[in-house]
Amino acid sequence: MTQPIIEVKDLKINLGGNWVHDGLSLTVMQGEILAIVGGSGSGKTTLLREMLLLQRPDAGSVKIFNENIMTLNTNDFLKIQQRWGVLFQQNALFSSFTLLENVAFPLHEHTTLSPRTIRELALLKILLVGLPKDSANKYPSELSGGMQKRAGLARAIVLDPELLFLDEPTSGLDPQSAEAFDELVLNLQETLGLTVVMVTHDIDSLWCVTDRVAMLGKGKVLCVDSMPELIKNKNPLIQEFFNGPRGRAVRDIYQQKGK
């Protein structure tokens, strides 16, 4: 039996005079890969920011690891925060740090490990995400877009989190690199036992890696289901989102694969 890792209840937030969330609720179960999707302005990124406490809603609650993160004091929130990792859309790498220094940064900030141990752990995570050892001493500007994504992911998992947040993880990648990144996420989820929450527009990723997909619209979660079931939903917003030419083409490919 899996347990809820995240419980979002009745979130409301008004931005620019519009109710981006108007009673939004969502539960993420331990060990699953759940994607958050929706049209422009549906509040996908806002929901992710609320889960990370980068933005506070006007009403409602967000429980992570059975703790209401909006009522925690700073020290208790920091303890919860250290149990998750985040890969931001633009990777958020420090341009003046080498790859090794970027990945090691959370270990310096949140542990009392020796410099040698920190270096070894950071290098291990670099190798774990499929980057070559000689990339460790390169700067972000010397890495390709796909390598930068992997570098950001290595830093996100360096503290061995239980929960991983991914913001548009394949954005800006060519199809081959995006497919390789999807496979990496699946491998890490299985190897490390992660729960993964991702915001994405990539329909291939939705079919390839997710257990469930949460569709946002009109300030709420319209449906949460597996991709094969979600595309059967008769809600007009869901049909419009998934049944365009691109959506139908990807659906046909994955259905031929038996998914």
Task: List, for residues 186-229, the tens digit of each pLDDT value.
Answer: 999 999 999 999 999 899 999 999 999 999 999 999 999 999 99
Is the pLDDT reported for residue 85 higher than 90?
yes
Residue 224: predicted pLDDT: 97
Tell me the CA distances in angstroms from 214 to 26, 67, 223, one per residue in order.
8, 22, 6
Per the DSSP assignment, residues forming a β-bridge with 180 are none
Domains of the chain (ranges plus CATH)?
1-13+29-83+170-259 (3.40.50.300), 96-160 (no CATH)
Residue 82 DSSP one-character state = T
How big is the chain, counted in residues?
A: 259
CB count within 10 Å of CB 211 equals 15
Where residue 145 falls among pLDDT bands split at 50, 70, 90? confident
* Helix residue ranges per DSSP H, 74-214: 74-81, 99-110, 115-128, 145-156, 175-192, 203-209
Long-range contacts of 75-78 (CB under 8 A, 24+ apart): 77/53
Whole-angstrom Cα distance, residue 65 to residue 76?
Answer: 12
Burial class (CB in 10 A: 0-12, 13-18, 19+), 6: buried
Q: What angle do CA 119, 125, 126 make, to 5 degrees?
A: 85
Residue 258: predicted pLDDT: 67
Residue 259: predicted pLDDT: 63
Q: Which residues contact 145 (CB under 8 A, 6 or more apart)?
A: 172, 173, 177
Which has more confidence, 246 or 98?
98
Task: List, for residues 62-82, the tens digit of each pLDDT value.
Answer: 999 999 999 999 999 999 999
Per the DSSP assignment, residues forming a β-bridge with 117 are none
